Chains A and B, each alone.
Chain A
Amino acid sequence: MDYKNILEKLPYSSPFLFVDELLKVNEKSAEGIYNFPVDSFFYKGHFKNNPVTPGVILTECMAQIGVVCLGIFLLQNEKNDLNDIKLALSSSEVEFYLPVYPGETVKVISEKLFYRFNKLKCEVRMYDKEEKLICRGKIAGMIKNESE
C-alpha cells in the first residue's frame, strides 16, 4: 500500500499539518507519527515562558492521523478518484494523561468504531517514545469526496 498517496491527499499544510509519517493503514485502523518542532507557532503563547503542546493541537494531531488519514484510505477503497475531499470534525471527547513538550515525537493509533453514511468515528490513542499513554478518546468526523 502506498501511504504517500494518502499523505498527498491531506488538505492541510504548515503550520497546521500534524502528520509526518503513516506506519500502517487498513480497513480497521491507522497508525502514524508526528514530531512537534520546537519552533511550532503555538509554543510562543502556550504557555508564557513555559512551552507545552496545547490539548487542542494533540486532539488535532489525533484527528488528522486517526480519522482523516483512515477516512481517505476508506474513501479510496470505495472510489478510486479523489478530487475534492470535504471534511468536518463532528465530535471529540478526549482525556489527557501526560504533557507533550517541544521536540517530542508522538505515535497515534486509531481504531475504527464505525464508518457509515460518510461519518467515521474512531477510538484514538496517542503514545510517547516510551509507549506511555499521552491521551485517548473518541473522535468523529464527516468525510466525503465532493465529486460523488
Chain B
Amino acid sequence: MKEKDILDAIKKIVTPYTQRKEGLENFSKETDFIKDLEVNSANLVDVILDVEDKFDIEIDNDSMEGMLTVGDAKNIIERKLASA
C-alpha cells in the first residue's frame, strides 16, 4: 500500500473525531493528533480501533503509546502490514 493511501485513510478516520478542523488543512506526517487536531484521549482509542478495522491489523499497548503523530501511526500500520 502506498504511503499516500495510508495517510488519506488516516485522515478520513480521524476527521469525525477532530475538534480543531484547521488542523486538517495542512494534514501531514507531522500532524499531532492531540495538539494539532485536538482529539481527546477517549476518541484517540476510537481512531486506533478504526485503524485496526480498516487495515485488518492489531495494535498493542506499546504501539498505541508511541502513536502521537500521523507519521507514527503510518509507521505502525506499515510495520504491522509488513509482518502480517
- A residues with CB within 8 A of B: 88, 90-91, 114, 116-119, 140-142
A117 near B40: Cβ-Cβ < 8 Å:
no
How near does chain A come to B66, taking the closest CB pair, in angstroms?
12
Q: CA–CA, A88 to B46, complex, Å?
A: 16
- B residues with CB within 8 A of A: 40-43, 45-46, 48-49, 61, 64
How near does chain A come to B84, taking the closest CB pair, in angstroms?
19
How near does chain B come to A77, taking the closest CB pair, in angstroms?
16
Determine the main DSSP class of A at the interface with B. Answer: strand
Q: CA–CA, A141 to B46, complex, Å?
A: 12
What residues of B have a CB within 8 angstroms of the CB of A118 in the complex? 45
* A-B complex: 6 closest residue pairs judged by Cβ atoms: A90-B42, A119-B45, A117-B45, A117-B64, A142-B42, A119-B42
How near does chain A come to B54, taking the closest CB pair, in angstroms?
16
How near does chain A come to B76, taking the closest CB pair, in angstroms?
13
A140 near B42: Cβ-Cβ < 8 Å:
yes
What residues of B have a CB within 8 angstroms of the CB of A140 in the complex? 42
What residues of A have a CB within 8 angstroms of the CB of B42 in the complex? 88, 90-91, 119, 140-142
Q: CA–CA, A109 to B17, complex, Å?
A: 28
What residues of A have a CB within 8 angstroms of the CB of B40 in the complex? 90
What residues of A have a CB within 8 angstroms of the CB of B64 in the complex? 117
B41 near A114: Cβ-Cβ < 8 Å:
no
